């Protein structure tokens, strides 16, 4: 487990100590986190600190690594802090977990359970063979699209948008997985892993 955020200088900058951080996240059920970060909040009416605890990454598929990130809003004295809010998100790295760093991970935007995420990754992983040799970039050239569509049912593709960097953002339906899951959008990002967005039918309709 690695702790970040200047904990060694906690007494001077008002940050929580490593021991206090570990105790806090353990009290919320996050045991032996892979990484912990914190930031002191100065203009937040609800929290004095925000703490991020990353669970140990795991390979969902050979070329895709996932970690669950817990975000905690914390209030109180440094000697006796209290968690007042807790949120979670998944982050993905399009590489093997071994040797992965925080910079490799990108958040999955939207709500998805672990089972739903695994099923969605089953669709997303079909893009891996057409990455042009680089597992860190999701960039489609024109010649790659037919290969991609052979693996993602063409009828499920909602839109294809070309980017200035010769990449393509592809949105496809996920309703065959669950009526509540509207779709998935994969957007390439120059110099790093793609953004992955998960949409639910109960929310706004971002695919229109």
Angle in degrees, CA 125, 130, 133, rounded to 5: 105
Q: Is 144 helix (H, G, I), strand (E, B) or coil?
A: helix
- Residues 120, 177 contacting (CB under 8 angstroms): yes
User: What pTM, to 2 d.p., does this model score?
Assistant: 0.61
pLDDT at 184 over 50: yes
- Per-residue pLDDT tens digits for 73-113: 998 887 888 888 898 888 887 778 898 899 888 777 666 66
Query: What is the pLDDT, as a whole number, of residue 160?
Result: 54
- Per-residue pLDDT tens digits for 8-62: 333 334 888 888 899 999 999 998 899 999 988 876 666 688 999 999 998 876 6
Name the pairing type of β-strands 49-54 and 168-173.
unpaired
pLDDT over 90 percentage in the chain: 12
Query: What is the pLDDT, as a whole number, of residue 56?
Result: 94
Q: What is the C-alpha to C-alpha distance for residues 68 and 47, in angstroms, rounded to an integer?
A: 22
- Residues 158, 172 contacting (CB under 8 angstroms): yes
- Per-residue pLDDT tens digits for 135-168: 333 333 333 443 444 444 444 555 555 555 544 5
Query: What is the pLDDT, as a whole number, of residue 36?
Result: 93
What is the three-state SS of 7-65? Answer: HHHHHHHCCCCHHHHHHHHHHCCCCCCCEEEEEECCCCCCCCEEEEEECCCEEEECCEE
């Amino acid at each position: 487990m690695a702790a970040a955020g200047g904990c060694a200088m906690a007494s001077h900058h008002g940050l929580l100590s490593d021991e206090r951080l570990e105790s806090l996240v353990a009290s919320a059920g996050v045991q032996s986190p892979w990484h912990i970060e914190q930031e002191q909040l100065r203009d937040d009416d609800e929290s004095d600190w925000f703490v991020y605890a990353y669970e140990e990454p795991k390979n969902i598929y050979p070329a895709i690594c996932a970690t669950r990130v817990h975000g905690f809003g914390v209030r109180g004295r440094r000697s006796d802090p209290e968690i007042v809010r807790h949120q979670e998100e998944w982050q993905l790295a399009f590489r093997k977990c071994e040797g992965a760093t925080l910079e490799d991970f990108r958040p999955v935007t939207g709500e998805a359970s672990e089972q739903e995420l695994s099923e969605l990754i089953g669709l997303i992983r079909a893009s891996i063979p057409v990455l042009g040799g680089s597992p860190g970039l999701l960039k489609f050239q024109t010649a790659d699209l037919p290969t991609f569509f052979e693996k993602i049912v063409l009828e499920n593709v909602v839109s294809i948008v070309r980017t200035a960097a010769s990449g393509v953002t592809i949105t496809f339906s996920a309703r065959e997985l669950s009526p509540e899951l509207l779709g998935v959008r994969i957007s390439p990002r120059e110099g790093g892993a793609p953004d992955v967005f998960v949409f639910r039918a109960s929310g706004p309709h971002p695919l229109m």
